[in-house]
Amino acid sequence: MTAFAYRIDATDEDARAGVLHTAHGDVPTPAFMPVGTTGTVKAMTADAVRATGASIVLGNTYHLMLRPGAERVARLGGLHRFMDWPGPILTDSGGFQVMSLAKLRKLDADGVTFQSHLDGSTHRLTPEHSVEIQRLLDATITMVLDECTPFPASPEEARTSMQLSMRWAQRSREAFQTREGYGLFGIVQGSVYPELREESARALIRIGFDGYAVGGLAIGEGQATTFAVLDATVPNLPLDKPRYLMGVGTPDDLIGAVQRGIDMFDCVIPTRGGRTARAYTSRGVFNLRNARFADDPAPLDASCRCPACVRHSRAYLHHLFKAEEMLGPMLLTWHNVQYYQELMRGLRAAITERQLEAFAAATRAGWLRDDDE
Amino acid sequence: MTAFAYRIDATDEDARAGVLHTAHGDVPTPAFMPVGTTGTVKAMTADAVRATGASIVLGNTYHLMLRPGAERVARLGGLHRFMDWPGPILTDSGGFQVMSLAKLRKLDADGVTFQSHLDGSTHRLTPEHSVEIQRLLDATITMVLDECTPFPASPEEARTSMQLSMRWAQRSREAFQTREGYGLFGIVQGSVYPELREESARALIRIGFDGYAVGGLAIGEGQATTFAVLDATVPNLPLDKPRYLMGVGTPDDLIGAVQRGIDMFDCVIPTRGGRTARAYTSRGVFNLRNARFADDPAPLDASCRCPACVRHSRAYLHHLFKAEEMLGPMLLTWHNVQYYQELMRGLRAAITERQLEAFAAATRAGWLRDDDE
């Protein structure tokens, strides 16, 4: 068996390149995790996800506990087998989506009660229950249940919320069954307040986790604030553990966060964009529904090796979206996920060569060369 | 360059196994053509279509002329390049879908005027124009414009309609530009009347085509009538030319038609079924939404080599359809097209070994072993 361990191979200023070893395989970092909401990265086969170079995917506990149900997934051999992803899987705690998707949710000191957005049935999530659901799913990395403090929040609201999350983090740690190669991550909260972020980080370190996530960001505060919170938070996290910025972000966000010492990311931007004709490329962001692509024989991104770019023209992709053909989302999601993985490969190589600043500047300059938005 | 030619390698009673040589490659027959309506076999990448073993696909002239437009496809290098299908493509004439999809259609002796179902714009299709559109698309096999006689039709209606189609067939032949490796197929009409079918076949043979289609079937007349019309029609067709039964059908229809001497088919059943949870398998037809699959760890079809069957459980496919995930249609369309191609491979092998009757009986017996419908 493989111990759950993080090895840093290179650093460039605050940025790190390394490998996270897990029971289900290695994750080279910095790593972007495609979001596999209900047991599928939307519009992609598992083979396609693998072909992009992704080494880890994320599953949503809220969705999976409601449908098909964690016990069912366990009976069927776990999420890896269910979705044909033998590699590492990180699951969120369910808390974030309870607050954003569920109906009639009610938070108390012990947990949260909510009604399913699917059928109105009543469910309850506590720190212990969330950990148990993630165990049934066989998550390689389990996230503690927390409260994602809304933005904006007053210092008092942010402190109360953060302290609740820290108590839940302690309970999650106690409920988590240690297994070789599996890990549990704590989540730093504290809104935009540096002293609360520091207090939260210290509380988590006292409990002790296999990795540390930064939560409560990318919820409307803006990139400058996100980066300021990272600047106040990351220096308080252990050097030798992976750091995961939850729910972030655009390619530009990823570069800035890697420069600030973040190792892992997840976000729906590449997959949601793939379904809505929004293309992320080395030349910037395009909306493929734009009429200017109707007769464009060029590949979407000449530097990309995905099937959408190697096999087809922008004109064809434009046509697929105009005709509302499923192949449009299929090809563009593949491309976007591939672009994100290429970006992570580039970041890892640049850190190893201690050329991160030059790589970041060149990448950002590329985006300006052909941008319609 | 390759001449457009059909070589028969084996026969078993009236059934034939052969190879159709074209400018874009060979088509082993009997062949099933997946329907690539608007330049995409719905929910499949071209790579996936190839992986099923399909050697030829069908494109719909009506859809493509309206969007993205035949001239645009021509400017972009033709339909093969546009949709990443360098192999043979057969296009229909557009006539059938004008009558089934367009608004305010008006047929006259010279052609048909109609309004696009997309934007209400007015278009006209004549035999000459249909042939020209198919040339712009770079169709390997062009179909003559005909009138698909509605069912039911009186003998008089059927005769008048058939005779119109024969005049249009003559005009299509004259408009068609002969190119090495490209072919033009005529279409037998005549509704359910044997003497009209015979008259239509003789008229087409006098004109001379590279292949002969049987049209006006699978429009509500029922399998027994379809087969009776084939029995009255096929013996009147040249032995040395491919025979194409348009718009057919279920796996059982295909077996019966191959036994009656048909070489080529197209139908939306496997692809439409793939999007609506309807699975065609060696054990019969399943609706994957059925609750009995929710905990079923077995593969959809243990004898199938497609990713849906090799990588996943029935429970996972059931979950994807319940959750309305795009991957459900993606995987099941792949499976259904693969099943159809496996069936055609089995038919070709059985004809070669002169075991067609035994193969047909064994295949039909398999369908009865696990059928929920």
pTM of the full structure: 0.97
| Residue B118 sits at the chain A interface (C-beta within 8 Å) | no
- pLDDT at res. B2: 81
- pLDDT at res. A1: 65
Q: Contact A42/B326, CB-based, under 8 Å?
A: yes
B291 interaction partners in chain A (CB closer than 8 Å)? none
Could you say which of B146, B253, B266, B301 is catalytic? B266
Asked if residue A297 has a cis previous peptide bond (ω within 30° of 0), the answer is no
Q: Contact A67/B323, CB-based, under 8 Å?
A: yes
pLDDT confidence bin for A370, thresholds 50/70/90: low
pLDDT tens series, chain B, 373 aa: 689 999 999 999 999 999 999 999 999 999 999 999 999 999 999 999 999 999 999 999 999 999 999 999 999 999 999 999 999 999 999 999 998 888 889 999 999 999 999 999 999 999 999 999 999 999 999 999 999 999 999 999 999 999 999 999 999 999 999 999 999 999 999 999 999 999 999 999 999 999 999 999 999 999 999 999 999 999 999 999 999 999 999 999 999 999 999 999 999 999 999 999 999 999 999 999 999 999 999 999 999 999 999 999 999 999 999 999 999 999 999 999 999 999 999 999 999 999 999 999 999 999 998 644 3
Q: Contact A38/B72, CB-based, under 8 Å?
A: no
Q: Contact B68/A319, CB-based, under 8 Å?
A: yes
Q: Is A146:A93 a contact under the CB 8 Å cutoff? A: yes
Annotation marks residue B26 as catalytic: no
| Residue B337 sits at the chain A interface (C-beta within 8 Å) | no
- pLDDT at res. B103: 84
- Angle between helix B194-207 and B155-175 (nearest 10): 10
Compare CB distances from B76 to A67, A83, A313 and report the shortest one's residue: A313
Q: What is the 3-state secondary structure (H, E, C) of B182-216?
A: CEEEEEECCCCCHHHHHHHHHHHHHHCCCEEEECC
- pLDDT at res. B370: 61
Q: Is B325:A329 a contact under the CB 8 Å cutoff? A: no
Q: Contact A322/B68, CB-based, under 8 Å?
A: yes
Q: What is the DSSP letter of A235?
A: G
Q: Is B60:B94 a contact under the CB 8 Å cutoff? A: yes
Distance between CA atoms of residues A152 and A166, nearest Å: 20
- pLDDT at res. B85: 98
Phi/psi for A223 (5° steps) reads -65, -40
Q: Is the complex ipTM more than 0.90? A: yes
What's the distance, Cα to Cα, between the start and end of chain A in Å? 49
| Residue A45 sits at the chain B interface (C-beta within 8 Å) | yes
- pLDDT at res. B369: 83
Minimum distance, in Å, between the CA of residue B45 and any CA atom of chain A: 7
Compare CB distances from B325 to A38, A307, A325 and report the shortest one's residue: A38
- Best probe of the B interface among A101, A313, A319, A325, by most B CBs < 10 A, is A319
- Residue B298 identity: A
Structure tokens that stand for B187 in this block: 């279409």
- Best probe of the B interface among A310, A326, A338, by most B CBs < 10 A, is A326
Catalytic residue numbers of A, as ranges: 92, 266
Distance between CA atoms of residues B332 and B270, nearest Å: 9
